[in-house]
Structure 1
Amino acid sequence: MDLVSGLRSLDCKLINHAELVDIDGISLIANTADRWDEIRGFKARPDDLVICSYPKAGTTWMQEIVDMIQHGGDPQICARAPIYERNPFIELCPPKPIRTGFEEAELMPSPRTLKSHLPVHLLPPSFWEQNCKIIYIARNVKDTIVSYFYFHKMHKMMPDPGTWDEFLEKFITGKVAWGSWFDHVQCWWKTKNHHPILYIFYEDIKEDPAREIQKVAQFLGHRLPEPVLNRTLKHVDFESMKVNPMVNYSTLPSRIINQDAAPFMRKGIVGDWKNHFTVAQSERLDDVCTQLFRGSNLTFRTQL
């Protein structure tokens, strides 16, 4: 059963906050952990493209950018289906009989564009064996935490976030779905040195979208003439995407994705963290980053 039909017919008793289960040191949603052997055994194809990120780093934005590049900047082609159908989320495992993300991917013809939030060491080995291209998008930790907190408040099948203070503590200690942000962004940063990975920063796209979109196109082997680039820039502008039902997740039932609690596309800016962090919380997180990023040349901007 496809995702939308399945979620609409889902028994209300099955709609509850997920539990987290440890898989190789990473906290994953229980339904994902239950199907882990199948996810681990997923068969990649050589022409697969994988868009990876820590949650709430601009994944949907990058998915739509890539789809526009792949289809000559034609927004009508990009409106052929909701983004979660165009780019299956391989470790998404809704309750049965709804098809999993990896099952949806298996049904797709090549070339496929797939999505994952998995850290490097949990990505199915076949992606490395097939030398698949990967785009990794990373966002500064403070804005990521804020966005992830609101996502938990909106998504009825994510773990209960608790209060802002409680969620911040869980995040810093890596006790949230997909584990530690600090490990996630750093391991992918190191892996780009020996695999075809384009590592893109959310803040760079906000600063100069034309430059970064051209960078993505070049990585994918596409040439973007100026008219195509301009159409793409207009289509993937945050205000355009916010009202686009093919990307804003409004096609999913509100009893699962409650966008009255928080819109899926909330603000899309750099620096909203200032409206949520106390001075003490900000300084503490700065200290954590200094400690955990010691010796790394990976840096993030928390304002533009």
Structure 2
Amino acid sequence: MADTAAKSSETYMFQYKGYNFPKDTVTPEYIDSLEDFEIRDSDVFLVTYLKSGTVWTQQIIILIHEEEGSNAAESEDFNAAESQGSNAAQSESSNATQSEGSNAAESESSNAAESDTNMKRMPWLEYNLEGQDYNMRPSPRLFTSHLTYNLMSKMLKEKKTKVIYVARNPKDAMVSLFHFSKICTCMETAKNIGDLMEKYLSGQVARILILFLTVVAGSWFDHIRGWYTHREQLNFLFLTYEEMIQDLRGAVLKMCHFLGKRLQDSAIDRIVEKATFKNMKNDPKANYEFLPEKAILKDNGKFLRKGTVGDWKNTLTVAQSEHFDEVYRQRMKDLPLKFVWDLNEDAS
């Protein structure tokens, strides 16, 4: 049975530097190249362990930059109108022509941006599925990643690059992964939560999972420890999925402040509204329903499932939960992190 599982994994993956990678998606050479990937001060990285609010936070970061662009455009239009006021009669015709051309160009650019999915606008660094030349992307470049700290570019510590790390309580992240295995064609469906839990706690997720976003992550404990213990060497913002659920507006304001974006209250309101779970599920740019049928079994469920805190209680038995708690206490005893496991309880 174990040999069969190993052969199945080898069909899809190769092991490199202690991690498993999908054969058809990435190469050892590309992973090596990321260590020297040229990072800019203006870059923004969203880093998460899988099933920890990645798509949600990706949407928020993109919206923040969209709103900043809108504010800048409105300010430029206002200033231009003031300066042209005294010469309006003389240049009305000329300005009208130029304005039409400018508006057409802006509209075309806006429409192009709106047609792009979030995955294209803020791509995964380690999985260049579109074959883009990331060095040619204009600043600020927005990237998403599930990479562990030791696999990220060495330049990260040398730049002012902004890193937003979002963590989720591992019970909910694990249960979300369990359900995700039922719709993803690139991974073996977990037989039951108990089987998945043992692999999850031991960091052996790759033994049963083939999904490329999953196998590289390894252990939740190692992933969060690697990034959190190096936070003081980075331009780093640590958030939790649960605090975003409890106070979405507050989380958006934290991100704006960290990113150096001063937005009007009306802009913050728009971001919060577009980033609600209900609206994201209906947003074709953000809900990942654009993924092809060969990647997601859409009849089996949605990419965005519930977006809640405490769903683990509907899946884990009391014994499984207690076992999880014991492993968690041992692995996290030296880190000052507290998570909300249920919205009716305090963080612990």
Which of 276, 279, 283 is residue 318 of structure 2 equivalent to?
279
- String of CA shifts for 1:159-191, please: whole Å, max 9, x gaps: 553433222221111112111101111222222
Q: Secondary structure at the match of 1:183?
A: helix
Is 1:54–2:83 an aligned residue pair?
no
Confirm or deny that 1:120 pairs with 2:149. yes
Question: C-alpha separation between the residues in 2 aligned to 1:272 and 1:121?
Answer: 31
**For each residue in 1:127-151, what CA deviation from the matched residue of structure 2 results, as whole angstroms up to 9, or x when unmatched?**
3333311000000000100111222
When structure 1 is superposed on structure 2, of 207-216 and 77-86 the one drifting more is 77-86
**Aligned counterpart, 1:26:** 19
Which residue number corresponds to residue 76 of structure 2? none
1:40 to 2:35 alignment: yes
Match of 2:197 in 1: 168
8 Å contact from structure 1 (residues 18, 29) kept in 2: no
Q: 2:221 & 2:173 partners in 1: Cα distance?
A: 11
Structure 1 match to 2:279: 240
Q: Secondary structure at the match of 2:197?
A: helix
Question: Aligned partners of 1:29, 1:124: CA distance in 2, in Å?
Answer: 20
Unmatched 5+ stretches in structure 1:
1-15
Higher helix proportion, which one? 2
Aligned to 1:65: 60
* One of 153, 163, 168 as aligned partner of 1:139: 168
Distance 2:341 2:13 in 1: 29
Secondary structure of the structure 1 residue equivalent to 2:144: strand
Quote the offset at 1:33 in angstroms. 5.0
Q: Look up the SS of the partner of 1:56 in the other structure.
A: coil
* 2:134 paired residue number: 105
Aligned match of 2:239 in 190, 194, 200? 200
Cα deviation code 1:198-238 (max 9, x no counterpart): 00100001001111110000000012321111111110000
TM-score, structure 1 as length reference: 0.85
- Asked if 1 retains the 8 angstrom alpha-carbon contact of 2:242 and 2:340, the reply is yes
Identify if the C-alpha distance between structure 1 residues 262 and 107 changes in structure 2 by more than 3 Å, giving closer, same or farther. farther
SS state of the match for residue 200, structure 1?
A: strand
Check the 8 A contact 2:53/2:168 in 1, yes or no. yes
* Structure 2: distance between partners of 1:152 and 1:92: 19
Residues of 1 paired with 2:279 and 2:157: CA distance? 35
Aligned equivalents of 1:278 and 1:104: distance in 2?
47
The aligned runs of 1:207-222 (5 Å cut-off) are: 207-222=246-261
Residues 162 and 252 of structure 1: is their aligned pair in 2 closer, same or farther, counting only changes over 3 Å?
A: same
Distance in 2 between residues matched to 1:29 and 1:49, nearest whole Å: 25
What is the correspondence of 1:4-15 to structure 2 with a 5 Å cutoff?
Answer: none
One-letter code aligned to 2:118:
I
Which residues of structure 2 form unaligned runs of 5+?
1-8, 71-109, 206-214, 344-348
RMSD over aligned CA atoms reads 2.2
Contact kept, 8 Å, 2:35 with 2:151, in 1: the verdict is yes
Structure 1 counterpart of 2:119: 84
- Aligned mate of 2:181, from 142, 149, 152: 152
- Match for 1:228 among 263, 267, 272? 267
Distance between the aligned counterparts of 1:109 and 1:46, measured in 2? 13
- Kindly provide the CA deviation profile for residues 238-268 of structure 1, in whole angstroms up to 9, marking residues without a partner as x: 0000111101111121121222223110000
- Cα distance in 2, alignment partners of residues 262 and 17 from structure 1: 28
Q: Which has the larger radius of gyration?
A: 2
Of the structure 1 ranges 24-33 and 36-45, higher mean CA displacement relative to structure 2 is found in: 24-33
Aligned to 1:251: 290
1:189 is aligned to 2:228 = yes
CA shift for structure 1 position 104: 4.8
Query: Matched residue of 2:222: which SS?
Result: helix
Q: For residues 157 and 105 of structure 1, what CA distance do their matches in structure 2 show?
A: 25
Deviation (angstroms), 1:153: 2.4
* Contact preservation (8 Å) 2:162, 2:236: yes
